[in-house]
Amino acid sequence: MNTNEAREDVSLEKKIEKNEKRGEAKNKKQAYGRLSFAALVGIVVITIMISSLFGAVFGFMSAGAVNIFSAQIGQKFHQYFPNITLNNIDPKVSRQQVVIEDSAIIDVVEKTSPMVVSIVISKNVPNIQNNLGDPWGFFNPFSTDPFGSDGTESDQGSQKKTIGGGSGFFITSDGYILTNRHVVDDSQAEYTVVTNDGKEYEAKVLARDPVRDVAVIKVDGSDFPIATLGNSDNLKIGQTVVAIGNSLGEFSNSVSRGIVSGLRRNLNAGSGYGETERLTDIIQTDAAINPGNSGGPLLDVNGNVIGVNVAVAQGAQNVGFALPINQTKRIIDQVKDGTKISVPYLGVRYIVIDSAVQKEAQLPYNYGVLVLRGNKFTDLAVVPGSPADKAGVVENDIILEIDGKKINQNNQLGDAIAKYNVGDKISLKIWHKGEIRDIQITLEERKQ
342 vs 216: CA distance, rounded Å: 14
- Sign of the alpha-carbon dihedral angle for 188, 216, 299, 318: positive
Question: Residue 286 catalytic?
Answer: no
302 vs 104: CA distance, rounded Å: 8
Distances (CA, A) of 333 to 115, 170, 171, 207, 361: 19, 14, 10, 12, 44
Element (H, E) at 284: strand 276-285
Among 149, 167, 213, 300, which one carries the catalytic annotation?
A: 213
What's phi and psi for 191, nearest 5 deg?
-125, 130
167 vs 250: CA distance, rounded Å: 11
Please report which residue ranges of 295-400 form alpha helices under DSSP H.
329-337, 355-361, 387-390
188 vs 186: CA distance, rounded Å: 5
Among 118, 149, 167, 182, which one carries the catalytic annotation?
A: 182
Closest listed residue to residue 413, CA positions, set 425, 398, 424 = 398
Percent of the chain as helix, strand, coil, to the nearest 5:
30, 35, 35
Please report which residue ranges of 338-386 form alpha helices under DSSP H.
355-361
Checking 64-68 for CB contacts under 8 A at 24+ apart, the result is none
CA dihedral of 110, 114, 119, 120, whole degrees rounded to 10: 90
168 Cβ contact list (under 8 Å, min separation 6): 116, 117, 119, 177, 178, 179, 183, 193, 217, 295, 296
Q: How many residues in total does the chain contain?
A: 448
Among 247, 252, 256, 294, which one carries the catalytic annotation?
A: 294
Do the beta carbons of residue 323 and residue 344 sit within 8 Å? no
Question: Residue 261 catalytic?
Answer: no
313 Cβ contact list (under 8 Å, min separation 6): 319, 320, 321
Question: Residue 213 catalytic?
Answer: yes
Q: Tell me the catalytic residues.
A: 182, 213, 294
